[in-house]
Structure 1
Amino acid sequence: MKLTANLSLMYTELPFLKRFKAAHDDGFSAVEIQFPYDTPISDIQQALKENNLSCVLINVPAGDLMQGGEGLAAVPGKAAEYAAAMVECLAYARALKVSCVNVLPGRCSDENKRVFYLDTFKKNLVKTADNLAPFGITTTFEAINTRDMPDFLISTADQMLAIVDELKHPAIKAQFDVYHMALMGCQICSFIDENADKIGHIQFADIPQRGEPGSGTLDFTTIFRCIETSGYRGWVGAEYKPTRRTSMTMQWKRDLAANVALCS
């Protein structure tokens, strides 16, 4: 597997720009960042260069989503705000040479408005993909569990799959998060195996507390083997909340390396 470290959730015991070296020292060759927009592009480029890292994924700015709001991508009245967010994202995505950009659908608390939010989201998703595809960037979107984010517009793997199938856009794929989908009852391995060609990025953390593999109840030996033997060839992002200093939570990575060596 091609592993990345998510610098928004991991190494948070360090200032942001020092997290790049920590990830490199732990053997990662790539990183991903949820929202890099508070840091100048040139500073991130320098940190990547100094540590021989690539940045593979960022999110489109999501407005008030992380503060409990609806976000931007699906709200009918926020077309101008989403367009501005897309422009900002494109500047970072091109400069950092990412392979994927993730669009967070956001929340809809009014069931009567859900159909309109979904329609807006799909239109924005297509616009984003049309803008990013000429630069070789895949547009992804993800489902998030309703325990952590109540009223999230897309919360199951089947809902993601339905949108991918409906839009049939060559540059739009699902971002599959093992943590979120396991909490929603998804059969992780069978979904990845059956839909590998429709997945643009994979992320993982253990359940129930989103810690590192081994801190919860998921069988990551089986999950990692499933990803490796599936048709999926993209990046696999460690996006967990470490239960202690991040560098002390890498036993899963050492176990993975040992299993690869054993099988080779």
Structure 2
Amino acid sequence: MPRFSANLGFLWTELSLPEAIAAAKVAGFDAVECHWPYDVPAELVRKALAENDIQMLGINTRRGDVMAGDNGLCALPDRVTEARSAIDEAIDYAAAIGCCAVHVMAGFSNGAAAEDTFIDNLQYACLRAEKHGITILIEPLNRFDAPDYFLSTTDHALRIIEAVAKPNIQLMFDLYHVQLMEGDLENKIVNLLPHIGHIQFASVPDRGPPQKGEIDFAALFELIDNLGYKRPLGAEYKPNGPTEHTLEWFRTYS
């Protein structure tokens, strides 16, 4: 049976991060992950993880100036200094809490200069992360929710991974984003599994709990399990009410 990670960027957002970690443990999740934990001191998060005997699987690099429209910095040619500061911060924070992966966010950009910048920044991130045993993740985002985001397809992500050519860079494969952009989830999972470092999910098209919509979650979870992928799958969906009231799927698939 698959194991699951609660994405605390969407689940239990009414709670503080330490409280949300405890709530996920009580609910039966095997791990947690989040987006941007930086307002909470790392020692408080580390303490909550230890007290609840649960691991933080991943965090994101900062988006930049969100009010100005930033959604990542690492493929922006004119903001390399900021991007590397965000990478340093994320890796240091991840190391302090025992987190095993950092998602390096590309941002809104395009073209050859953006690609070169992203590759250079990812190589920098991989070298910094390697010292701590941390994996660097990149994630294609769909064009409907994130127009003009640098990375939107798994093919492009794979080319970037090959160009970076470091052993600790992998693909964040989000069923929601990939279904919206490409479909053919079963074949893509089978073919890309050697490059996948983390899998996330939500229903399509509403990004709600995995109980309806276009994706056959029962079949995909069984496939992933049968392929021997044993890491927890990330529940990154938008709850349509209190998180506890949206966990019927968890009881079904756990």
Residues 254 and 65 of structure 1: is their aligned pair in 2 closer, same or farther, counting only changes over 3 Å? same
Residue 87 (structure 2) aligns with: 86
Identity of aligned residues (%): 38
Alignment partner of 1:135: what SS? coil
1:66: how far off? Answer: 7.8
Contact 1:7 1:19 in 2 (8 A): yes
1:203 and 1:63 map into 2 onto residues whose CA distance is 23
Letter in 2 for 1:52: D
User: Residue 231 of structure 1: CA displacement?
Assistant: 4.5
Aligned counterpart, 1:69:
70
- Contact 1:13/1:245, CA 8 A, preserved across alignment: no
Q: How many residues matched?
A: 253
2:216 to 210, 214, 219: 219
- For the residues of structure 2 that align with 1:8 and 1:55, how far apart are their CA atoms? 12
Q: Does the 8 Å CA contact 2:73/2:82 hold for their aligned counterparts?
A: yes
Give the distance between the partners of 1:67 and 1:219, measured in 2 at CA.
38
Counterpart residue number, 1:125: 122
Q: Is the 8 A contact 2:88 2:128 kept in 1?
A: no
1-structure distance, mates of 2:17, 2:102: 20
Question: In structure 1, what is the Cα distance between the partners aligned to 2:67 and 2:169?
Answer: 23
Distance 1:10 1:66 in 2: 23
Residue from 173, 178, 181 that aligns with 1:184: 181
2:205 equivalent to 1:201: no
Instruction: Provide structure 1 residue ranges, at least 5 long, that are not aligned to the other structure.
Output: 258-264
The alignment yields a C-alpha RMSD, in angstroms, of: 1.6
Query: Structure 2 stretches of 5 or more lacking a match?
Result: none
Matches of 1:65 and 1:104 in 2, distance apart?
Answer: 13
Deviation, 1:107, is: 0.7
**Contact map agreement 2:63 2:73 (CA 8 A) in 1:** yes
Cα 1:4–1:196 shift into 2, 3 Å = same
Contact 2:4 2:232 in 1 (8 A): yes
Q: Which amino acid aligns with 1:179?
A: Y
Q: Give how far 1:24 is off.
A: 0.8
Matched-pair contact (CA < 8 Å) for 1:29–1:52: no
TM-score by length of 2: 0.94
Asked if 2 retains the 8 angstrom alpha-carbon contact of 1:211 and 1:243, the reply is yes
1:30-179 alignment, distance < 5 Å: 30-64=31-65, 68-69=69-70, 71-108=72-109, 114-179=111-176
Deviations 1:43-62 (A, max 9, x none): 11122122221111111222
Distance 1:65 1:143, change over 3 A: farther
